[in-house]
Amino acid sequence: MSTINQRPVSNTPIAYGLMSLSPTMGVINGMEVALEFEGALIEGNRKSILGVTDVSCFASFGIKGTEAASWLMSQSIQIPMNRNTWVEHEGYLVLRLGGSEFLIEGQYSEDQYSHEIFEKLARFNQATVAGVYKVQRADAAFILSGSEVLNMLSELCMLDLRDSALASNTLVMTQLASISAILLRHQLNGEQVYRVWCDGTYGAYMWNMLLEVARELGGGAVGLASHFRGTHK
Amino acid sequence: MSYQNKDNMRLAKKIGEWIDRDKVIKFSFEGEDYTGYEGDTITSALWANGVKVLGRSFKYHRARGVLSLANHDVNILVTDGVDTNIRADVVTLQSGMTLKVVNTEGGVVNDKKKIIDSISALLPVGFYYKAFHSPAVLFPFWEKFIRKAAGLGVVNFNYPRITQRKLNAYCDVLVIGAGPSGLSAALMAASNGLEVILVDENQQLGGSLVYDRAGGNAAKEMLDELSVKMAETPNIKVYTGSYAAGYYADHMVPIVTAKGITKVRAKTVIAATGAFEQPPVFRHNDLPGVMLGSAAQRLIYRYGVKPFNTCVVVTANAHGYRVALDLLNAGCTVVALVDMRAEADRDQYVGELARKGVKIYSSYCVYEALPSKSKLGVRGVTICPFDEKNGTSNTANSITLDCDGIAMSAGWAPAAALLYQSGMGVRFDNDIQQFVPNSLPNGIFAAGKVNGVYNIKQRGLDGMRAAAAALQYLGKSVETINVDHHQGASPSHFYPIVMHPKGKNFVDFDEDIAVKDFINAAQEGFDNIELMKRFTTVGMGPSQGKHSNMNAIRILAKIRNLPVEKIGTTTARPFFHPTPFGHLGGRSFHAHRLTTIHMWHKAANAVFVDVGAWSRPAYYQKSGLSRIETLQQEAIAVRQSVGIIDGGTLGKIEVCGPDAGLFLERFYTGKYIDQKVGTTRYALMLDESGVIVDDGIASRLAEQLFYLTVSTSNAAAVYREMQRWLQIWQLNVGLVNVTGAYGLINIAGPKSRDVLAKLVDIELSEANFPIGSALETQILGFSARIIRVGFVANLAYEIHMPSAQALNAWKALMQSGVKEGIRPFGTDTQRLLRLELGHHMPGYDTDGLTIPYEVGAEHALAMDKPFFVGQRSLQIIAKKPRNKILVSFVLPLDYSSEMPQDCNLVIDDGVIKGRVTSVSYSPAAKCVIGLAYVHPTQNQLGATFEIRTDNGSLAKATIVKTPFFNAE
Amino acid sequence: MAYQLLKFALGGEYKEPRFFRDCQTPKKSYDAIIIGGGGHGLAAAYYLAKDHGITNVAVLERGYIGGGNTGRNTAIVRSNYLTPDGVNFYDASVKLFQGLSTELDINLFYTNRGHFTLAHSESAMRTMRWRAEVNKHVGVKSEVVGTDEISKACPQLDISCSGKSPILGALYHEPGSIARHDAVAWGYARAADSMGVEIFQNTEVQSIDVKNDQVQGVQTNRGYIATGKVLSAVAGFTPRITKMVNLKTPIVIQPLQACVTEPMKPWLDTILVSGSLHVYVSQSSRGELVMGSALDPYEVHHTKSTFDFVEGLTSHIADMFPFLSNVKVVRQWAGMADVTPDFAPLMGITPIKGFYLDAGWGTWGFKATPISGKTMAHTLAHDKAHDLIHSFRLSRFDEYELTGEKGAASVGH
Amino acid sequence: MKLLNCPMNGLRPLGEFIYGGEYREMPNPNNSSDLEWASYVHYRDNAPGVKKEWWFHSPSGTWFIAERNTLSDEVLNTYLFGKAPFPKNENLSDGKLGDEKNTELSA
């Protein structure tokens, strides 16, 4: 009997959707993702019109239960106080999904990556904490950027997502391209972007739908490298 | 031979016209070349060229020209060879168009089908209910002719699939109609800080201000003033050339544009939709050259086209006088103005008309229009004194006037379809002879003509009144605005119908329905407006009664001697205008789910099958092998060595917390409280009527953690039901749906243990990890759950891991099994494998009525528990006799006749006793095996029953025990 | 035939009589009262008079005749059901339909077009085989066919459904037909009236008088009418009537929507149904495509249209016929359906003596019009359910004897 | 598309919801007759009027009760099961919805 303990590189949930595009791939956070599709110039332009970026590689941790909020606070994690809102804190986002479920997502930054918090969270043991349950997550996660994002979302989502209707720290659990998704508006490198999470098994479908509309509107696929200069092969 | 006189009818440039005379457009119509200008509609360009016969009517194939120029000239449908049923009155002329009229035989001028018109007396309304059916054998013969006559344009089967974008938009106030009241409403709402969307079906703003000018400038000046304000107001989003297709619940109004649909969700809606001009009814009111007054005005001011050279205006309201002045202004000779009214207060225009030499005939009607020799146009009119009270014409004193056209203005019908759809209550206002809103739902407002306001100044004010009401509704404090009730003569005549013994006085131009048809229908008992509509088909044509319903109501009221309001109206259904499939359908969202191993399957030539939203390998195609052969090979690999299947699509649910066992005991039929950690139990789910819904495996991974696998197609529904029951039972349980978050791989077969053992650090021996074991461990450095299962083989393992690692795990297992000849298999093979073991599958071997007793699942029912869903119903059902039971059967080893199929019937003495649910040749059992429902009296080991195969032969099956082969 | 046409041309005077009398004042009592002047109620009245000689009958219609689901359906007639009882019942209806134009002397435009139920999955193919086997067993022409045969009957159909859900085969039901639905009601009304049945329009039943579990009469806006027998034939409104007699049923009212296109030259000769895409479509004798979909997803007692219905329907039809992109939908409408848990009707006697149900018609009521009329007339006349409708009795729900139609529930029509 | 107010997520288009049928009180299975139980399982309060119904908001996984007039299709009120006007069970919940902590958050 032999044991392989070398944890292999994992696949983004949209891997199947990337196959025909042959992007330059790289490993971030243990997951192989698309860094670049057509080069900085083209993608920079796309990004300003309508860019779609797969960020499923961001570390994430899910938890729910009546005591989830207090447990997170006991771990010195700042949480949003109202349901369906989110906060950003020291390189990670905390989404409060409904009242008692949380999704914590690490944000990529150039120099340091907030591993610490996720290492701490990974040590969570359900058997020892009453009223708190781990939610295994495998979302497909996206960044939507550029001037035409609302145009795209107005076709794919029935909700009013304009600044006037979607408060800055509010998230919505709704349907995008007819499947369930979490959506919020966020600042990234000083630009307003929209973030989308959906069940990873719908990831390739979602990626293709987002790209189909983005291309019609003058945008397209944008690699991680266009958003995060520190990411490279 | 050229029939059309081809006068150049184009006028000198008109202020505010919609055409660009610098841009000449060439096109052809019925084989002849013409030119028009950018901004013309097809109809306006043709009329400018003197072309008057633009189409043929549907039923009698009568020549037709311009009627409304407002999107209900549905006799003027053309095809450009690609698209069909193009509405020439509103569709913008494009360069190079090659147009032909639809539904003619030999062209619009010489249409051979016009013969039908001359035998129209044989074909009164409803005639087809009374003909052709007897003798019955001949009906198919007649039907061929009827079917040939049906329909308008010919569909182009090569037309491309177009999917237009459908967008969602939001606003405080949606104003529909950009005439004076709509514009005023939008401006008022916007100036109070509201977000406004304004929509109008015409290409430019202004409504009747564009064309209803009475030969003067006042309307144009008012429009200019409003346009300046519009330009200064940023918070109005304007959609022109776009129509509001219907009103739907909670103020949702789809706006149809050339490029797609915008679904507007408004907080309030103001309908300033105006009114449709209604034709007076007289003999030959349908000839090319007879048109509505507003159509003549549209031709003049929008397109710079002269409607007639010499004309008569027939009217029953003030609008006709305005039309006459506009016609004079356009250089037409107005021979006479015929006013059907006895003593209307003669308005301000009478003097002006008289000064300009127009003779006015009061209390006269147009008795008939006189067709030209070719019957393709008007050569004159016969007018005569008219008693409007009785509707009688004094033909003894008739006068004939020469002219080439007639403008008609007898009244209006409110364009109230959206208001009706919103739930408006109406009353009939006798002062204006119109249905007006009596009650409107919350947040819905009406303004302008549709609200019964006709005075031009009051229309603007009424828009502001509606806007103020909308503002108040939204909580803004503004002063209420009051609008005067209508003063003076009615804008609509109470009965603009002139009888004629020879008929052809048309009410509905779409369907060629004349006055007599209504009288006859009523005589036959169809004297309710809805019955009349169905019997005569009035209002059922493509214009949906926009120019015919009101006259039909008036005629029925007269026949029944009832006031109009007692007749009521027909229901106004969406759409306001016919709307294309490509717009309505839009982009199609065909959501599908893939496991992370999908790309591996694809590369390995998997043949996929849809299971709900999922795409799963059914089997892996090998070149040179049939599907059946492939399945059997995959099955043999599992039986002899090891096979592997992607089960990532299975539902996976964690049930956690102190009450988890109790929860499962209520939700499923079995017992779980005493289940040992590290073991699995069967989980059978029933509905409240005792019917089988789903089954799966419950693995107890920790004291307070059960891990449930449920079937792929039921996963979402099972989780949903768990959530609901949990709310009702209020137990201390947490539910987590990890269907997408976990990958699942099943390796099965005698060598599966060896293959798996290389990758895990646990003892997999039979003694240590027997069937029914489950634990959490590590594989490839990440945590995984391993469950010893027995669905497809006696030795098999499910490995559950985070889905991002599933492909790695799959590859590692494939690698690990190279020596053993590991082979992937799909769902089709899986069905065969489980059949060989004798397992039934919910949804496959059960249907929507199957109870546990019918599939031998008594062992799974813990009837001694205090409660489980479906238990009480089972107690009732248990007392009843069974009428079917699922049995396992084999066919003789040498069976070589027609192969039975799933769903072939079990027949006993000519009576259906059951059916086959699963059947296949089994390579392991080396015979045909299957499951079938039979009557309980047939159920004895070794007994035989008969299956009727597709070709009708009977296959004799023997009931046997399972598994079907020696599995050890 | 020639006479039928010529008589309109001769004489000049239009001599056609009323289809049925304009009844205004009901008698004090009738032998039977039928609530609902749709196809079913009028057919029951006709067969009561014709088959059983019971002519002292009033039909009470709240609105106008044929104004409910009779005038709102997509006029499809077929008998390819799943259970032998269902197939036999509807087959008897098809047979009555075939002779009905002659019997009622009105052209119902009953036209035999053939009916394809398309299967887009292996499991749908299995269900098709099941239905075909049962149909064949009781002598109804249905068979599973492959895509070649579908293409032959309808060459315009994109068998791949735009690549989204390829068609694998179909259940072909040769007798599938369409008819002019309004005319069915008018024909029965005229025939019933001619035998003495009185039809009252604009007559609403406000309550039903029951004493000692026996019907005594009905209260209407035209006054009280005594009777010992009341038939409720008001699909879509059944719960409002059963509430009057405190009778519990499993019916849930759900809207069913439909729409039509503008007329085009006939090209679609068959009736197509797709359970997976939730659509059915045929082309009427006017040249319109008549299209429908599955039931609306929740209970509501009104007939308002929804936009999502027409969005979904057009998208799916365009998958089947991509060239329709610029063909236009003219009108949409809705009806209310009595939906039962086992997708079979509720017919026959009830625990209240003299109160009979003709209900639970879901989306398949039109095609049953003649046979429901005939069997309900029999049931009223004998105070005992006709054999053909035994499985449709209300008490099956108390007895846990639901019909097997539930087994393979899908879009049918 | 009609709008429905999810107590946890606010006003949403109907397409985000799944109808869960009429809310019915289950009779005590131990002391109801077979007929009473069959009636509970199969029969419905089906005449038009204001009904309590189950609705499920799909993207968030929220079951709730809606009071709806089935004649006008007007929704009068929506709330989580176990909240007013139902008698409240102070015990426990599934830890997702309807617990006291969550309700305090509904600002």
pTM for this model (two decimals): 0.95
B868 three-state secondary structure: coil
Please tell me if residue D76 touches chain C, with a CB cutoff of 8 Å. no
Chain-chain contact of A3 with B587 (C-beta, under 8 angstroms)? no
Whichever domain contains B800, its CATH number is 3.30.1360.120
Pairing of strands B55-56, B63-64: antiparallel
Rounded average pLDDT over D76-90 = 68
Rounded average pLDDT over B826-842 = 96
In a domain, residue A4? The reply is no
pLDDT at A114: 63
What's the pLDDT tens digit per position in B144-156?
877 888 888 899 9
- The sign of the torsion formed by the CA atoms of B172, B178, B182, B188 equals positive
- Cβ-based neighbours of C76, under 8 Å, separated by 6 or more: C115, C176, C177, C178, C271, C280, C282, C366, C367, C413
pLDDT at D86: 40
Spell out the CATH class of C111-177+252-339.
alpha beta
Mean pLDDT of chain B: 95
Which chains would you list as touching B if contact means 3+ CB atom pairs under 8 Å? Answer: A, C, D
In a domain, residue A2? The reply is no
Q: Are residues B605 and B569 in the same domain?
A: no
- The sign of the torsion formed by the CA atoms of C58, C59, C60, C64 equals negative
Of the pLDDT bands very low, low, confident and very high (cuts 50, 70, 90), residue B569 is confident
Q: Are residues B840 and B760 in the same domain?
A: yes
Best CA proximity match to B682, nearest among B842, B878, B913: B842
Chain-chain contact of B525 with C99 (C-beta, under 8 angstroms)? no
Chain-chain contact of C240 with D22 (C-beta, under 8 angstroms)? no
- Apex CA A84: angle with CA A82 and CA A87, to 5°? 70
Scanning B766-896, the segments in alpha helix (DSSP H) are: 806-816, 827-836, 871-877
Q: Are residues B752 and B640 in the same domain?
A: yes
In a domain, residue A88? The reply is yes
Of the pLDDT bands very low, low, confident and very high (cuts 50, 70, 90), residue A115 is confident
Rounded average pLDDT over A40-64 = 96
Rounded average pLDDT over B653-665 = 98
In a domain, residue B281? The reply is no
From B252, B720, B733, residue closest to D94, measured CB to CB: B733
Which domain does D89 fall in, by range? 3-104
pLDDT at A230: 64
What is the domain count for chain A?
Answer: 2
User: Would you state the structure tokens that stand for residue B423, as one six-digit string?
Assistant: 């739930």
Rounded average pLDDT over C374-394 = 98
Q: Mean pLDDT: which of A6-20, B286-300, B340-354 is highest?
A: B286-300
Whichever domain contains D18, its CATH number is 3.30.2270.10
For chain A, first and last CA: distance in Å? 35
Q: How far apart are CA B942 and CA B953, in angstroms?
A: 21
Q: Are residues B621 and B570 in the same domain?
A: no
Percent of chain A topping pLDDT 70: 93
Of the pLDDT bands very low, low, confident and very high (cuts 50, 70, 90), residue D104 is very low
A115 close to D77: Cβ distance less than 8 angstroms: no
Q: How far apart are CA B309 and CA B468, in angstroms?
A: 46
pLDDT at D91: 39
Chain-chain contact of D96 with A158 (C-beta, under 8 angstroms)? no
Which domain does A69 fall in, by range? 60-135
Chain-chain contact of A205 with B808 (C-beta, under 8 angstroms)? no
Percent of chain B topping pLDDT 90: 90
- The whole-angstrom distance between C196's CA and the closest CA on chain D is 34
In a domain, residue B319? The reply is no
Q: Are residues A176 and A212 in the same domain?
A: yes
Every domain of chain C with CATH number 3.30.9.10 lies at 111-177+252-339
Chain-chain contact of C240 with D48 (C-beta, under 8 angstroms)? yes
Rounded average pLDDT over B920-938 = 96
- The whole-angstrom distance between B660's CA and the closest CA on chain D is 10
Q: How far apart are CA B686 and CA B668, in angstroms?
A: 7
Q: Which segments within A17-167 are labelled E, that is strand?
A: 24-28, 31-36, 51-54, 60-64, 86-89, 92-97, 101-106, 133-135, 139-145
pLDDT at B117: 84
Q: Are residues A131 and A142 in the same domain?
A: no
Whichever domain contains A165, its CATH number is 3.30.1360.120
Q: Is the pLDDT of residue A2 over 80?
A: no
Rounded average pLDDT over D74-82 = 93
Domain C18-73+182-249+342-408 grouped into CATH 3.50.50.60: yes
Q: Are residues B566 and B444 in the same domain?
A: no
Chain-chain contact of A126 with B589 (C-beta, under 8 angstroms)? no
Best CA proximity match to B370, nearest among B341, B337, B398: B398
**Chain C contacts of B610, Cβ < 8 Å?**
121, 165
In a domain, residue B686? The reply is no
pLDDT at A111: 47
pLDDT at B146: 78
Percent of chain C topping pLDDT 70: 95
Mean pLDDT of chain D: 82
Q: Of A135, A161, A182, which residue constitutes the final position of a domain?
A: A135
pLDDT at C1: 46
Best CA proximity match to B405, nearest among B117, B69, B67: B67
Half-sphere exposure of C164 (CA within 13 A, CB side): 20
Of the pLDDT bands very low, low, confident and very high (cuts 50, 70, 90), residue A4 is very low
What is the domain count for chain D?
Answer: 1
B434 close to B549: Cβ distance less than 8 angstroms: no
- Cβ-based neighbours of A192, under 8 Å, separated by 6 or more: A185, A186
Q: How far is CA B822 from CA B635, B766, B808, C208, in A?
A: 12, 21, 16, 73
What is the domain count for chain B?
Answer: 4
> D85: cis peptide before it, omega within 30°?
yes
Q: Of A74, A106, A135, which residue constitutes the final position of a domain?
A: A135
In a domain, residue B904? The reply is yes
pLDDT at B450: 98
Best CA proximity match to B497, nearest among B434, B563, B408, B560: B408
pLDDT at B345: 61
Please tell me if residue B503 touches chain C, with a CB cutoff of 8 Å. no
Lowest pLDDT segment from B295-309, B428-442, C69-83: C69-83
Q: Of B829, B849, B869, which residue constitutes the final position of a domain?
A: B849
Whichever domain contains B570, its CATH number is 1.10.10
Can chain C be said to touch chain A, i.e. do they have 3 or more Cβ pairs within 8 angstroms? no
Q: How far apart are CA C235 and CA C336, in angstroms?
A: 8
What's the pLDDT tens digit per position in C140-173?
999 999 999 999 999 999 999 999 899 999 999 9
pLDDT at B515: 96
**Chain A contacts of D8, Cβ < 8 Å?**
83-84, 98-99
From D15, D43, D72, residue closest to C248, measured CB to CB: D43
- Within the 27-86 window of chain D, which residues sit less than 8 Å (CB to CB) from chain A? 57-62
pLDDT at A5: 47
pLDDT at C74: 87
pLDDT at C77: 95
pLDDT at C410: 42
C293 close to C411: Cβ distance less than 8 angstroms: yes
Q: Are residues A142 and A216 in the same domain?
A: yes
Q: Are residues A100 and A201 in the same domain?
A: no
Q: Are residues B173 and B263 in the same domain?
A: yes
In a domain, residue A1? The reply is no
Of the pLDDT bands very low, low, confident and very high (cuts 50, 70, 90), residue C412 is very low
- The whole-angstrom distance between B150's CA and the closest CA on chain C is 5
What's the pLDDT tens digit per position in B865-911?
999 999 999 999 999 999 999 999 999 999 999 999 999 999 999 99
- Could you give the dihedral angle defined by the CA atoms of residues C273, C279, C282 and C284, in that order, rounded to the nearest 10 degrees? 150
Q: How far apart are CA B530 and CA B513, in angstroms?
A: 16
Of the pLDDT bands very low, low, confident and very high (cuts 50, 70, 90), residue C7 is low
What's the pLDDT tens digit per position in B718-770?
999 999 999 999 999 999 999 999 999 999 999 999 999 999 999 999 999 99
**Chain D contacts of B720, Cβ < 8 Å?**
18, 56, 61, 63
Please tell me if residue C18 touches chain B, with a CB cutoff of 8 Å. yes
From D59, D62, D92, residue closest to A175, measured CB to CB: D59
Q: Are residues A66 and A178 in the same domain?
A: no
A190 three-state secondary structure: coil
Q: Which segments within chain D are labelled E, that is strand?
A: 3-6, 10-13, 17-22, 50-57, 62-69, 74-79
pLDDT at B134: 77
Q: What chain C residue is nearest to D38 in terms of C-alpha separation?
A: C398
Every domain of chain C with CATH number 3.50.50.60 lies at 18-73+182-249+342-408
- Could you give the dihedral angle defined by the CA atoms of residues B10, B12, B18 and B24, in that order, rounded to the nearest 10 degrees? 60
pLDDT at A110: 53
Rounded average pLDDT over B222-239 = 96
What's the pLDDT tens digit per position in B83-128?
999 999 999 999 999 999 999 999 999 998 888 888 777 777 777 7
Which chains would you list as touching D if contact means 3+ CB atom pairs under 8 Å? Answer: A, B, C
Quote the distance between the C-alpha of residue B412 and its chain's center. Answer: 30
Q: Are residues A94 and A199 in the same domain?
A: no
User: Would you state the structure tokens that stand for residue B357, as one six-digit string?
Assistant: 């030499």
Q: Are residues A52 and A142 in the same domain?
A: yes
pLDDT at A109: 64
User: Would you state the structure tokens that stand for residue B815, as one six-digit string?
Assistant: 């690698």
In a domain, residue A144? The reply is yes
Which domain does B534 fall in, by range? 503-581
What is the number of residues in chain B? 968
Q: Is the pLDDT of residue D96 over 60?
A: no
Rounded average pLDDT over B258-264 = 96
Pairing of strands B692-702, B680-686: antiparallel
pLDDT at B928: 97
Rounded average pLDDT over B411-430 = 97
pLDDT at B139: 81
Q: Are residues B953 and B931 in the same domain?
A: yes
Q: Of A118, A135, A152, which residue constitutes the final position of a domain?
A: A135
From D2, D14, D43, residue closest to C250, measured CB to CB: D43
In a domain, residue A200? The reply is yes
Instruction: State the complex-level ipTM.
Output: 0.95
User: Would you state the structure tokens that stand for residue C9, as one six-digit string?
Assistant: 């041309």
Of the pLDDT bands very low, low, confident and very high (cuts 50, 70, 90), residue C407 is low
- Within the 67-86 window of chain B, which residues sit less than 8 Å (CB to CB) from chain C? 83-85
What's the pLDDT tens digit per position in B176-220?
999 999 999 999 999 999 999 999 999 999 999 999 999 999 999
pLDDT at B113: 87
Q: Are residues A77 and A185 in the same domain?
A: no
In a domain, residue A33? The reply is yes
What's the pLDDT tens digit per position in A60-83?
999 999 999 999 999 999 999 999
pLDDT at B343: 74
